[in-house]
Structure formats: C-alpha cells, structure tokens
C-alpha cells in the first residue's frame, strides 16, 4: 500500500466533499517487545498498526476524525461525517492551515536503520537475556530481577494537506534495559539501566547495560535517611531531565495564554543562571524525538528556549499562536498522533552541557546530596513549587559516602534554576528530554 497516495487522496476527497482546507496525518508502525526474568521469557509482543487522522476546516470551523480502515468506502463515510461535524462546530478566526505548512526541502535526519527490519526475534531475546545475565554475574547479592528487555519500533509517517504539502519519512528505534534486585541484611533494592538508539549497532552492549544496572543497585544497599538540612544538591543526568520537563510545561504557549504558568510574565527576563542554555531541536541528527516536519507539516527547527539564563520564547502551534495574537507565530512545535488533533509539544530538549565531569562536581562539595532517583510528580508548572521524594548518595568532603532514601527535596523552580552553579559534560541523547548532571546551590532536604 502506498501510504503517500492514501493520505493525498484523503485530503483531496475532503476538499471535494466541501472542506475549505484539510490535512491528513498517517502513521504505520511495527512494534516488538520482549521481557525476560531470571533467564525465561516472561512477556513477548509483536504488533502492526496503522491509522490516519483527518482534520478539516469549513468557514473557520474545525472538525477532526480518525480511522484505521483505509478502504475507499470507509474513508468516504469518514470524510463526509467529519465535514458535517465541522459545519456544526464553533467558528473561530484561527481555524485554518498555516501558510508555512507547504512542501519544502526535507532534510535527511538519519532516522531509519534497515538492520532492525532483519534482526530475528531469537536474536532480540538473546540480547535481553545477555543483559540480565551480566547483572546476575556481577555480584552474588544480586539474586533476583524485575526483568530485562529489548524493544524495537519501525514507523512510516506521512502528512498531506490541501496546500500541496505531501511529505513522509521512515524511522526506527530500539532499546535495551535491565532492572536487577539486590538484597543485603534482609533489605532489598532495585534499580535499572537502559540504552535507546535509532540504530541497532549503536545500542550499548548488553553486558555493559547489565553491569551498570548492577553497579547502580548495589550502591543503594544500606540506604538510610539523611538529617534534615539545607545543602547543595547534585542532580544525576537521568533525574536532571525531569527539571527541564517542568520548564517545558511552563513555556507551553497554551498554558501561558491561560495564565497557568509560573513563567507567564518572564519572557525576555533572566530566569536561570548565566550558564543555562536550553534547546529544543527537532532537526537533531538521529534524535529520539527528531522529525523533518511537525504535526502541521511545518519544517522543524532548532529553537533556543533559554539562552544564558534568559527566557527567549514560548512554544506554539499555529492555532495557539493565532489566539495569542500580537505577531505570535508557530514555533514548529505542533505534535500529533493519528488519533488526535495537533497540540503543542517538544522534540529534543536538552540542557547545553558544561565541561566538568560528575566526579569534579562532587569533589567540589563539602556536604551535599547526589540525587539519583526521584519519586512522584515533583514540580507544579502553574505555581513553580517543587517538592519530591528522592534517593541517592550523600556527599562528604568531596566523596560519595552512604546511600540515602526516604527524603524529600524542595525549593521553588525559580530558585532551582537561578541556583544552578555547575553543569556536567555527561549529556547522553537517550530520550526526548535529556540533561547533563548539574548542581544547585541549595535546597531543603527533609529527612530524619
């Protein structure tokens, strides 16, 4: 089946049926996932799916519908219904396609690995087992497991609209993880390590993933509460990314427009330390969230959200930008699934790394907390409050001394951002929001 033809024909049919404008977003995906536990396959899933979302505009009224049936009969019925739905919707001046959503040169972001088409299920299972075996072999205190696994995804994405835009790309992704359980003095701890890449050959070796997972869980043994105090806090890169997730929620143009953001009046103001530059790059080579176009067909771009601590911009899709007015335009941040209309989202968000290693950051601290786990939601993007359960390792005289659990760390988001003193060099692009390790000058730590 030629998915480009299917999408383009659906857009044309919508216009013939009475739509002033229409766009179509089509996704076809093949997924595989296996989890092993103690050397045996616990779950294995393989699936193929496809779906198409059709958005139409009639006299500045919007209608949306989706389907998994691509037959001519089904599409004819769906398009007729969605055009009628649009005619009964509220009329809003912002309801029309963006003039930038036209066909343009689509840069190859290198998102597709043909090797993932050919690897067998048996080879995938073997990778997961090797990962778990490495963790078990590392230390006798690791006697159980929450599982290890391998996953892969192969997708085709197509967008077509009545402005003449017809674009598509293929993408792949694969991941490997291990979550061992360790026990000492009757007390158990669990941790994990994972690797995510677009290309199979770039995944971390399974033995490496298993070993790092083992090291992580073993260092949690003997954990205890730390005394209540105010002290510097170092966020390990995996948990550091959650801080930037809260910032992204607060610079969402829709939330800002509704007054539901602690950064709503902070545009062009200093909101973080001078060392902080936060970027969202939809064009990142082999990025986890990369795409040549956004959910409205607008070419993606590299947006510098915060530069040297100054908030540069809010993120918009087309309709939100038009509602805001004042010259606001889409920032190419529309995200979309086939069964939903476009909404604001990010692509590859990352904090620009510094030059220090994690060891160098830790060595600079006399007394502080190295956070490796956070439990709960933590940040409130509306008020800017931040409070979350945490675990990790205590720092004394520049060394990691004992494991910490069952404490709470708290501060305002603005205090956290302005208090970033050191940024690490350990940035790894393993998700859509990533960060190097960084240190905050002071937070309240509630323990015993």
**Domain chopping of the chain, boundaries:** 3-218, 223-448
Neighbours of 315 (CB within 10 A): 24
pLDDT at 107: 76
pLDDT at 187: 92
pLDDT at 321 over 70: yes
Instruction: Give the span between the Cα atoms of 78 and 81, in whole angstroms.
Output: 5
Instruction: Give the mean pLDDT of 82-108.
Output: 89
CB of 413 closer than 8 Å to CB of 385: yes
Instruction: Give the span between the Cα atoms of 19 and 77, in whole angstroms.
Output: 14
pLDDT tier at 7 (50, 70, 90 boundaries)? very high
Q: Report how far apart, in Å, the C-alpha atoms of 191 and of each of 101, 347, 436 are.
A: 44, 27, 20
Query: Which ranges of 106-236 would DSSP assign to H, the alpha helix?
Result: 115-118, 121-138, 206-218
3-state secondary structure 114-138: CHHHHCCHHHHHHHHHHHHHHHHHH
Read off the pLDDT of residues 214-271 as tens digits, 9 standing for 90 and up.
Answer: 999 999 999 999 999 999 999 999 999 999 999 999 999 999 999 999 999 999 999 9
- Averaged pLDDT of the chain: 96
CB of 369 closer than 8 Å to CB of 231: yes
CB of 168 closer than 8 Å to CB of 182: no
Q: Which residues pair with 393 in a beta bridge?
A: 370, 403
Residue 193, CB-side half-sphere exposure with 13 Å CA sphere: 22
Length of the chain: 448
pLDDT at 186 over 90: no
Closest C-alpha to 421, from 261, 309, 300: 309
Instruction: Give the span between the Cα atoms of 319 and 57, in whole angstroms.
Output: 12
What does pTM read for this prediction? 0.96
DSSP code for 164: S
Instruction: Give the span between the Cα atoms of 263 and 414, in whole angstroms.
Output: 9
Instruction: Give the mean pLDDT of 328-351.
Output: 97
Q: Which residues pair with 22 in a beta bridge?
A: 56
Read off the pLDDT of residues 358-377 as tens digits, 9 standing for 90 and up.
Answer: 999 999 999 999 999 999 88
pLDDT at 106: 66
pLDDT at 151 over 70: yes
Instruction: Give the span between the Cα atoms of 369 and 403, in whole angstroms.
Output: 10
CB of 65 closer than 8 Å to CB of 92: no
Cα torsion for 133, 135, 141, 145, to the nearest 10°? -80
Query: Which ranges of 253-329 would DSSP assign to H, the alpha helix?
Result: 253-257, 318-324
pLDDT at 103 over 80: no
Q: Which residues pair with 344 in a beta bridge?
A: 334
Read off the pLDDT of residues 36-66 as tens digits, 9 standing for 90 and up.
Answer: 999 999 999 999 999 999 999 999 999 999 9
Please identify which residue in the block is written with the tokens 């070796």: 205
pLDDT at 327 over 80: yes
pLDDT at 105 over 70: no
By CB atoms closer than 10 A (0-12, 13-18, 19+), residue 2 is exposed
Read off the pLDDT of residues 278-303 as tens digits, 9 standing for 90 and up.
Answer: 999 999 999 999 999 999 999 999 99
Instruction: Give the mean pLDDT of 189-193.
Output: 97
Instruction: Give the mean pLDDT of 330-351.
Output: 97
Domain 3-218, classified CATH 3.40.50.300, yes or no: no
Residues with Cβ within 8 Å of 13's Cβ and at least 6 positions away in sequence, in order, are 75, 76, 79
pLDDT at 150: 98
pLDDT at 430: 94
pLDDT at 104: 62
């Amino acid at each position: 089946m030629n998915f480009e033809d299917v999408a383009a024909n659906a857009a044309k049919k919508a216009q013939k049926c009475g739509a002033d404008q229409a766009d179509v977003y089509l996704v076809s995906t093949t997924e595989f996932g296996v989890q092993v536990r103690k050397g045996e396959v616990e779950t294995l899933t393989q699936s193929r799916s496809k779906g198409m979302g059709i958005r139409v505009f009639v006299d500045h009224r919007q209608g949306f519908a989706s389907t998994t049936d691509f037959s001519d009969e089904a599409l004819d019925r769906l398009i007729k219904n969605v055009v009628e739905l649009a005619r009964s919707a509220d009329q809003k001046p912002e309801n029309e396609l963006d003039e930038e959503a036209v066909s343009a040169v689509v840069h190859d972001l290198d998102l597709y690995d043909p090797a993932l088409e050919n690897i067998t299920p048996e080879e995938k299972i073997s990778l997961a087992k090797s990962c778990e075996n490495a963790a078990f072999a590392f230390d006798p205190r690791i006697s159980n497991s929450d599982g290890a696994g391998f996953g892969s995804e192969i997708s085709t994405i197509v967008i077509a609209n009545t402005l003449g835009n017809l674009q598509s790309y293929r993408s792949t992704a694969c991941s490997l993880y291990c979550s061992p359980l360790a026990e000492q003095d009757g007390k158990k701890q669990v941790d994990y390590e994972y690797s995510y890449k677009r290309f199979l050959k770039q995944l971390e070796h399974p033995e490496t993933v298993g070993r790092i997972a083992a090291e992580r869980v073993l260092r949690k043994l003997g954990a205890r509460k730390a005394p209540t105090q105010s002290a510097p806090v170092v966020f390990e890169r995996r948990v550091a990314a959650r801080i930037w997730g809260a910032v992204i929620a607060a610079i969402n143009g829709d939330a800002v427009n509704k007054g539901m953001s602690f950064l709503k009046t902070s545009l062009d103001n200093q909101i973080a330390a001078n060392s902080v530059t936060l970027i969202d790059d939809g064009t990142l080579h082999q990025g986890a969230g990369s795409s040549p176009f956004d959910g409205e067909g607008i070419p993606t771009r590299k947006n510098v959200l915060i530069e040297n601590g100054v908030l540069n911009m809010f993120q918009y899709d087309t309709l939100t930008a038009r509602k805001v007015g004042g010259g606001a335009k889409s920032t190419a941040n529309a995200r979309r699934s086939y069964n939903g209309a476009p909404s604001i989202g990010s692509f590859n968000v990352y904090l620009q790394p510094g030059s220090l290693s994690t060891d160098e950051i830790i060595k600079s601290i006399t007394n502080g907390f190295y956070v490796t786990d956070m439990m709960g939601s933590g940040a409130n993007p509306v008020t800017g409050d931040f409070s979350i359960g945490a675990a990790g390792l205590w720092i004394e005289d520049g060394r990691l001394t004992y494991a910490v659990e069952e404490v709470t760390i708290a501060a305002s988001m603005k205090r956290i951002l302005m208090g970033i003193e050191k940024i690490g060099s350990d940035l790894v692009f393993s998700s859509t929001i990533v960060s190097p390790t960084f240190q905050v000058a002071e937070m309240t730590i509630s323990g015993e």
